[in-house]
Amino acid sequence: MAFKCIKPNHNNLSFNSIFHRCKSMAEFKQAHARLVVKGLYHPPPSLRPVISFSALHPSGDIDYALLLLLRTSVPPTVFPFNTVIRGLARSLRSDSLSNSVLVLARMAEIDLSPNNYTYTFLFQVCAKFFASNLGQQFHAMVIKRCFQVDVCVCNSIIQFYSVCGKLDNARKLFDESTQRDVVSWNSMINGYVRNGEILEALWVFEKMPERNEVSWNSLIGGLVRFGYLDEAHRLFDEMPKRNVVTWVVIISGYSQNGQPREALVLFREMQLLDLKPNCPILVSVLSACAQLGALDNGNWIHSYIRKNSIKMDSILSAALIDMYAKCGNINLAMQVFGSSQEKDISTYTASISGLAYNGYNEESLRLFEQMKSAGITPDHISYLAVLCACSHMGCVEKGFHYFNSMVDVHQIKPELDHYTCMVDLLGRAGLLEEAERFIHTMPIAPDNVIWGALLSACRTHGNVEMGERVGNFLIESDQDHDGRYVLLSNIYAVSSKGDHVEKIQRTMRRRRIKRVPGCSSIEVDGVVHEFVAGDRSHDKTDEIYLVWEEMVREIKKFGYAPETRGVVFDVEEEEKETVVSYHSEKLAISYGFISKEPGSVLRIVKNIRICSDCHSAIKLVSKVFKRKIVVRDRRRFHHFEGGFCSCKDYW
């Protein structure tokens, strides 16, 4: 052992060299014990390295540091006390706050005065545990002692008040401070950002005499977080020097705020600058690919990961699985899952959800059971995926089994999303009255999404009476959501209540409600092409329409007849056929026929639910033209092949 070579005139340096060689806390304690037994350990000179290792080393033991500090017989200097409080500030333990107070009390017992470092670490602990009252008491102590407060203490107090939401106190101290540095300014920016006061944060940023990368990244991150993407991009463009954190913030911001196309553009810009993306950026880009259904782009990212030998941790694996699943290639998703070295709750959940989303419901449930057999405890997200699988397969009994298991076995409190799945499960199965009773017995108030699930079921099963009641409630409680008006209009249209349809449309015009147009996209050679119903903006419009009209002539020979019952416009039947004939997914499929290799899979992403006419038409197209077509709508995947759909006409 290293301590054998210590000479009688040992000092702190020799102790440091011994403890520095220890690779674990157990080894450290063993070395410390032998030094004590041999009489070579004499506090307080020896206390400093022991306390430092125990309190601050990654494998240290804060309890051991506390024990040594509070039971030492010789009054030490203030340094070990500060070291222990600093260690407590870093610790994740729930008793760190109370132990910090205990250390401070011990200092008072031996008449040892706190210094600036003591207070800096105390305010860090208070900020970590949102201990606003205790922190204010410490602030009062600082003022009462009237000693020279340095900028570090001032910054820690500003940070403490900001974290605890007391921005007026933070701003008052900031304005009164005579020695502000860049950390002071950043602390105010972070405080305003943390509390959602973005304009104030922007004002402080504009007033800063000197900015560093933290200043820029904090404000850009805040703007992104609260949806000010244009302003964030403006600052991003103005930033004199960007680091990898900046790219993470801006790319993830666009991806998480539903603007995946912009996220991919920024990623390409990063590539042109020859900057290497880290894992968080790759995860965000994969999420963008998943949202767009951009399989070619996602494949490129996967190849980049392999080519550059990037470590595939569970987070990156889950992102890849999610991307492939949401691009409709469940086989590749499961290959990634099978090759994952780290299979944890995130990789399992992404796979379970992907299988359910693509219609492999039995496989989804089997994988869920496999996860539990592997000793991984399900969480609320994995249960949500399982409930969705049960809903897609119409298995009410299994759905309630898993719902009850979530509550009774794993003590997971259901959230609104879980209740929505259960209402959707009952509604899809035609158990509308049971679904409504379930809503009324929920222990939490239902939101408009839950009532919307019931309204959708009313449309599917033609329950006009309930649909009218629920629909009228929704268009009053959720007035800005165009989907509520459209569903109720469809219910009226199918039941031949044209006057009611016109009434709904007048209400929409009066309230200036704009319908979100159906939009479908298809990726060709890495470029995503978008279409809306009746779209004539594409440079190959004439060819697209000619190809689709030819396909319609062919599938009519096999019994296709346009489904026009859901058309809510007051037009002749022939005009209704024209309305449904050029829905966005049909145009996207037609473009796929003229742009992709013969026999290749066509993958379409649609932003709303596929209609019954398109569903019937695409089934026949897959049969007549022997083409596999994958359509992802707002709710699930439809894999069309040989005249059949993976949803088994249950969607």
Shared-domain flag, residues 479 and 558: no
Note the pLDDT of residue 143. 86
In a domain, 181, yes or no: no
Shared-domain flag, residues 509 and 535: no
Note the pLDDT of residue 73. 67
d(CA 315, CA 305): 13
Mean pLDDT of the chain: 87
Shared-domain flag, residues 462 and 525: no
Q: Which of residues 474, 491, 515 is at a domain's end? A: 515
pLDDT tens digits, one per residue of 272-292 = 998 899 999 999 999 999 999
Question: 614 pLDDT exceeds 70?
Answer: yes
- Alpha carbon 587 to its chain centroid, in Å, reads 32
In a domain, 430, yes or no: yes
Q: How many domains does the chain have?
A: 2
Quickly list H helices, 557-629: 573-581, 584-595, 612-624
Per-residue burial over 304-316, b if 16 or more Cβ lie within 10 Å, else e, is ebeeeeeebbbbb
CA distances from 131 to 125, 162, 170, 239 (A): 8, 12, 15, 36
In a domain, 492, yes or no: yes
Shared-domain flag, residues 541 and 557: yes
List the domain range (segments joined by +) for residue 525: 520-565+574-645
Query: Which residues on neighbouring strands pair with residue 645, listed in sequence order?
Result: 640
Report residue 65's pLDDT band, with 50, 70 and 90 as the boundaries: confident
Is the backbone peptide bond immediately before 443 cis, with ω within 30 degrees of 0? Answer: no
Amino acid, res. 462: G
Question: 436 pLDDT exceeds 90?
Answer: yes
Report residue 569's pLDDT band, with 50, 70 and 90 as the boundaries: very low
Note the pLDDT of residue 67. 82
Report residue 12's pLDDT band, with 50, 70 and 90 as the boundaries: very low
Shared-domain flag, residues 452 and 474: yes
Shared-domain flag, residues 505 and 547: no
The mean pLDDT of 128-156, rounded to a whole number, is: 87
Shared-domain flag, residues 453 and 544: no
Q: At what angle do helices 482-494 and 498-510 cross, to 10 degrees?
A: 160
In a domain, 635, yes or no: yes
Note the pLDDT of residue 634. 85
Shared-domain flag, residues 443 and 460: yes
CA distances from 255 to 223, 231, 351, 521 (A): 14, 16, 21, 17
In a domain, 437, yes or no: yes
Shared-domain flag, residues 524 and 582: yes
Residue 262 near residue 254, CB atoms below 8 Å: yes
Shared-domain flag, residues 467 and 448: yes
The mean pLDDT of 455-481, rounded to a whole number, is: 92
CA distances from 31 to 45, 72, 158 (A): 17, 18, 42
Shared-domain flag, residues 529 and 631: yes
Question: 3 pLDDT exceeds 50?
Answer: no
User: Dihedral sign, CA of 527, 533, 539, 540?
Assistant: positive
The mean pLDDT of 101-120, rounded to a whole number, is: 90
Query: Would you give the DSSP letter of residue 414?
Result: P
Residue 543, helix vs strand vs coil:
helix
Shared-domain flag, residues 529 and 634: yes
The mean-pLDDT minimum among 67-81, 154-168, 230-244 falls in: 67-81
Q: Give the DSSP H or E segment for 644.
A: strand 644-645
d(CA 440, CA 449): 15
In a domain, 152, yes or no: no
pLDDT tens digits, one per residue of 186-236 = 999 989 998 889 989 999 999 999 899 999 999 999 999 888 999 999 999
**Residue 191: both structure tokens together:** 């405080």
Residue 342's nearest CA partner among 303, 311, 305 is 311
In a domain, 66, yes or no: no
The mean pLDDT of 307-324, rounded to a whole number, is: 94
pLDDT tens digits, one per residue of 405-420 = 999 999 999 999 999 9
Question: 152 pLDDT exceeds 60?
Answer: yes
CATH of the domain at 432: 1.25.40
Residue 89 near residue 103, CB atoms below 8 Å: no
In a domain, 77, yes or no: no
The arrangement of strands across the sheet holding 602-606 comes to 527-532, 519-524, 602-606, 629-632, 637-641, 644-645
Query: Percentage of the chain surpassing pLDDT 70?
Result: 89
Note the pLDDT of residue 35. 58
Note the pLDDT of residue 526. 83
Question: 340 pLDDT exceeds 70?
Answer: yes
Query: Percentage of the chain surpassing pLDDT 90?
Result: 60
d(CA 169, CA 136): 10
